[in-house]
């Protein structure tokens, strides 16, 4: 949920010229072609400069090609794109939030990645897997993000690596000072729902088996993961963590969040000495994943060129800059992280073991409307972890039409 998805709609056809490229189809030598590419509005002026340089470099490497990019405010992007798809005026290619890839793939809205286009080993597995549906690949990752464990070094000199250590450290902190929570335990909301699978995978579990059409988050690994959060509340009462910014204000020794919060904490709480470590696990290191993918739409008349552009965006030379512009980390294993501090190492380690969200078109709805309330039900004592997840799993099976 990964947070965790166009105001001022801009409709423009974007140009890219195609020279005769080996193995490509269409476009004779010297003919110009146009390509449309939609993406989110720039986060910063510097991000816009990065995108512009990549565009110019692609055009320089492909004489006769013109790339003009349509940038749409993120809050409005999905609405604008949905309207374009419905009216058969979708761009050739564009950015897509990870959970939407399976929906668009199964709807026939986007094209399958051509065989031999990429070497899958060049990409982080979790990031690439966000583009899979029914075992096939339908896009390329553009950037990725995740969550990790933030810890107050004054209260937690050495971050815990296992669930048992996590509970022990949290209990010690709270016992030493009852006004400080050991952990800012996630809540039962969309954000908590996005983080929850990382804990499930850390117990060796899965949320679903989408190929086998089986819901699995009522099985022991998921129940144990939710019980971990319930158990942590004993040393992490909500009377403390419901306060404003409990971790930043020194009222919670640990919290789970992502790299997007690092700059704010550094700027607004300069006296807080904190570190970032991979998530504690029960049986194996694991994490969640968020970010954006890039896809080619089925109505594209320049599909070969569009795929060439998407590969260009994710090559080792460009992907570090692109990912930074989008607010995430590179998806190409050889690309360099552009900016950041010592906490980068923890996030990159986390991304090596990240698991893609299930390739289920309704997953955002399941996350927000079924799993999140179940988590909250257990955390507030209205149901046991087993009861809450069993009920959520039953609702999910009904929604998906699955029998198991």
pLDDT in tens, 146-160: 999 999 999 999 999
Q: Between 400 and 22, whose confidence is greater?
A: 400
Lowest mean pLDDT among 30-39, 81-90, 249-258, 375-384: 30-39
pLDDT of residue 25: 32
Q: Is the pLDDT of residue 335 over 80?
A: yes
Residue 26: pLDDT band with limits 50, 70, 90: very low
Share of the chain above pLDDT 70, in %: 92
Q: Domain residue spans in the chain? A: 33-145+291-352, 148-288+358-400
- Confidence at residue 63, expressed as pLDDT on a 0 to 100 scale: 93
CATH of 148-288+358-400 given 3.40.190.10, 3.40.50.300, 3.60.21.10, 3.20.20.80? 3.40.190.10
pLDDT > 60? residue 305: yes
Structure confidence at residue 68 (pLDDT): 86
- Asked if 175 and 253 count as a contact pair (C-beta separation under 8 A), the reply is no
Give 40-96 pLDDT, tens digit per residue.
Answer: 999 999 999 999 999 999 999 999 999 989 999 999 999 999 999 999 999 999 999
Mean pLDDT across the stretch 107-116?
97
Identical fold for domains 33-145+291-352 and 148-288+358-400, yes or no, is: yes
Could you give the CA distance from residue 250 to residue 269 in angstroms, rounded to a whole number? 10
Mean pLDDT, the chain, rounded, equals 91
- Please name the residues in contact with 304: beta carbons below 8 A apart, sequence gap of 6 or more: 18, 21, 24, 25, 26, 27
Each as own residue / partner, the long-range contacts of residues 170-176 (CB below 8 Å, 24 or more positions apart, any chain) are 170/232, 170/235, 170/236, 170/253, 170/254, 171/234, 171/235, 173/235, 173/253, 174/235, 174/236, 175/235
d(CA 135, CA 139): 13
CATH class of 33-145+291-352: alpha beta
Whether 256 shows a pLDDT value over 60: the answer reads yes
**Chain segment 208-233, per-residue pLDDT in tens:** 999 999 999 999 999 999 999 999 99
355-361-364 Cα angle (round to 5): 70
257 has a pLDDT exceeding 90: yes
Task: Copy the structure tokens of residue 240.
Answer: 């403390």
Q: Across-strand partners of 291? A: 144
Secondary structure of 376-403 as H, E, C letters: HHHHCCCCCHHHHHHHHHHHHHHHHCCC
Across the range 291-303, mean pLDDT stands at 96
């Amino acid at each position: 949920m990964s947070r965790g998805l166009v105001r001022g709609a801009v409709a423009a056809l974007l140009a890219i010229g195609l020279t005769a490229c080996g193995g490509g189809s269409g476009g004779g030598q010297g003919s110009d072609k146009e390509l449309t590419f939609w993406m989110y509005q720039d986060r910063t002026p510097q991000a816009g400069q990065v995108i512009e340089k990549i565009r110019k470099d692609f055009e320089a490497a492909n004489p006769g090609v013109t790339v003009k990019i349509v940038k749409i405010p993120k809050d409005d992007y999905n609405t604008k794109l949905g309207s374009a798809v419905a009216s058969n005026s979708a761009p050739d290619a564009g950015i897509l939030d990870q959970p939407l890839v399976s929906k668009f793939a199964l709807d026939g809205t986007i094209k399958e990645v051509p065989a031999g286009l990429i070497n899958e080993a060049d990409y982080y597995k979790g990031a690439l897997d966000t583009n899979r549906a029914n075992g096939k690949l339908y896009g390329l990752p553009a950037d990725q993000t995740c969550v990790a464990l933030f810890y107050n070094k004054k209260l937690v000199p050495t971050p815990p690596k296992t669930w048992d250590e996590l509970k022990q450290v949290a209990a010690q902190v709270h016992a030493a000072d009852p006004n400080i929570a050991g952990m800012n335990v996630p809540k039962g909301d969309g954000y908590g729902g996005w983080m929850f699978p990382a804990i499930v995978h850390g117990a060796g579990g899965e949320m679903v088996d989408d190929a086998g059409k089986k819901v699995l988050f009522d099985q022991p690994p998921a129940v144990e993961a939710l019980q971990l959060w319930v158990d942590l509340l004993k040393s992490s009462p909500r009377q403390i963590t419901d306060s404003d910014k409990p971790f930043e204000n020194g009222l919670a020794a640990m919290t789970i969040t992502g790299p997007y919060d690092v700059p704010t904490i550094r700027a607004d709480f300069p006296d807080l000495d904190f570190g970032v470590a991979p998530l504690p696990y029960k049986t194996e290191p694991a994490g969640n994943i968020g970010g954006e993918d890039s896809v080619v739409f089925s109505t594209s008349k320049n599909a070969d060129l569009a795929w060439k552009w998407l590969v260009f965006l994710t090559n080792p030379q460009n992907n570090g800059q692109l990912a930074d512009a989008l607010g995430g980390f590179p998806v190409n294993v050889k690309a360099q992280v552009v900016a950041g501090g010592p906490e980068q190492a923890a996030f990159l380690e986390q991304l090596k073991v990240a698991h893609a969200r299930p390739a289920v078109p309704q997953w955002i709805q399941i996350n927000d409307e079924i799993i999140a309330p179940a988590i909250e039900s257990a955390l507030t004592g209205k149901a046991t972890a087993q009861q809450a997840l069993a009920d959520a799993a039953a609702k999910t099976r009904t929604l998906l039409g699955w029998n198991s």
